[in-house]
Amino acid sequence: MEATQTEGTPARRFVPVPFTDVVIADRFWAPRMRVNRERTIAYQYAQCKETGRIDAFRLNWKPGDEPVPHIFWDSDVAKWIEAASYTLATDPSAEVEALLDEVVALVAAAGQPDGYLNTHYTVVEPEKRWSNLRDCHELYCAGHLMEAAVAHFQATGKRTLLDALCRYADYIGTVFGTGPGQKRGYCGHEEIELALVKLYRATGERRYLELSRYFLDERGRQPHYFDQEARERGEDPGAYYFQKYDYCQVHLPVREQSEVVGHAVRAMYLYSAMADLAGELGDAALLAASERLWENLTTTRLYLTAGIGPSRHNEGFTRSYDLPNETAYAETCAAIGLVFWSHRLLQLDCDGRYADVLERALYNGVLSGVSLDGDRFFYENPLASLGGHHRQAWFGCACCPPNVARLLASLGEYVYAQSEHDAVVHLYIAGQGRLRLGGQTVTLTQETNYPWEGRVALTLQLEQPARFGLRLRVPGWCREARLRVNGEEVSLAGKVEKGYVRVEREWRNGDRVELDLPMPIERVYAHPEVRQDAGLVALQRGPVVYCLEEVDNGPALHRFALPREATLQAQFRPELLGGVTVLTGEAEYLVDEGWAGTLYQTRRPAAETRPITAVPYCVWDNRQPGQMQVWLRESC
């Protein structure tokens, strides 16, 4: 299972346990996955059908027809295929299979004789094929179609879409490269790079891995390809509306980059591919760059919710410590991309830092992107709202809804990993995982009420005794973990390495491991350079970030101040928002007394004590509309 690499180079040491070998049966994720499977998938199919996205693959559009197939529509359908394929793999459904067969046949049939497959540039602007890689998403759409093809093949064994996308990838390999007559281009919106790695792993065809490496190696080279193609279009390269090429991460060769910049989703997809290729190719320079970038992001540009990208202007990054709350962009797709990137780094080095961020994103910045009933979605995820920000049924740019759907449908892939000698538990979710260790199947059964409680019990089922290591993650938010094996206390002193405790022994059928992760309510403070959060405090319990909503606390949430010594309680409410743990206590509330007819005074405003209730950020805006706030003033 462990990759063979030259000493001193990175290797993909761990392999995720496929989601098809994981059963999720908890009170938190299982209901959301059921809604995703039973409601969201059908709803998103209907939206893609009604808006013309699916029928665009019929290639019967003519000038004057409405709607006009858009340059990124193919990617929305591709992500839907991927999500539906994942659900079909774990929960067979004749209805879903029929829908998939219909859409897959339509997409595959849209392939051209040379292998090209893009609805917009086949029927709307065929003369402009590959003429604007910077802005027009051709390779981005190709990448999402490749991911869909791999997912559909792995779920069903059917090669219809996989064969069509292999032909497309082969054609792309003839167009782009360093050979005579080839274009030295790459996509302005990264995605194909990571997709080609998936295609390589599914087919074993190394040319796809090499094409991915080409696209990464070419980025940032001088002179810029984007300048060249702009001139060929008769445009002034200096008129590019974002001016700087850091918007799409081509300001420097990828191995020289050290600061997370530009469009957040593009960056996450690029960095994910860098981590993939670092492991597959043993490229130490790629890994070093990826680690530098991850450190830069997580120490200077990450919201408490693991949202990323504060600016609407570029859908991305601005500068270090610039983390506004009410105007936070924090696109859902960007948080999903952070999950992808962190998970890939986790396979190279079982380091709990990556798992901590992955978990924070899943429970907060990603899950907030979809309503509890599965048919309303956030594109932007602010950390404060005056009451006007709500989930929408769909978007003209609908990248986020199917992105959430495909992540939820494949969630099991993020729970466990394995190497030749170790079983690894990254996330604590009740259910089962089937691993292959020592030539036999090892089943891990988790019992837990995580994230509401921190007690986890794992039972091992083996055909015969076997010696291997069991790595259990000790989350960064937990400082007093306790471990027992078959009822016997195991000291963790000196045994937690990079956020994981490793227990190696001869395991026998029925062995039981108990991990206790105390989950106190904690106050969180931002770095002093985060000016928007100076003097403010946020609440967190375990991996869950909390917020105040107007429906629980009344209007004018900005008037609340949480006393430094105030006591807070955690209480599980099964009837609320699908069953959540809320935090309750008392806070100071500024009142209007003595302010009639005046705007400013020299005396301090009067305050009274009022009860407060905080709910998990991921479920806000699921009840009546109103204000929301994550960060609160703190009083003495």
Q: What residues are annotated to the active site?
A: 315, 399
H-helix segments, 233-263: none
Q: Compute the distance between CA of residue 110 and CA of residue 112 in angstroms, rounded to an integer.
A: 6
Which residues neighbour 328 within 8 Å (Cβ) at sequence distance 6 or greater? 303, 307, 310, 380, 381, 382, 383, 384
| Cβ neighbourhood burial of 204 (10 Å; 0-12, 13-18, 19+) | exposed
Q: Compute the distance between CA of residue 632 and CA of residue 588 in angstroms, rounded to an integer.
A: 11
For residue 469, the surrounding DSSP H or E stretch is: strand 466-473
H-helix segments, 37-185: 41-50, 73-90, 94-109, 119-123, 138-156, 160-175
The first and second tokens of residue 439, run together, are 């030539």
End-to-end CA distance of the chain: 55
Q: With the CA atoms of 66, 71, 74 and 79 taken in that order, what torsion angle do they form, in degrees rounded to the nearest 10? A: -120
For residue 11, the surrounding DSSP H or E stretch is: none
Looking only at the bridges linking them, the beta strands covering 482-485 and 628-629 are unpaired
Cα dihedral sign, 521-304-400-350:
negative
Q: Compute the distance between CA of residue 57 and CA of residue 104 in angstroms, rounded to an integer.
A: 10
The first and second tokens of residue 395, run together, are 């978007």
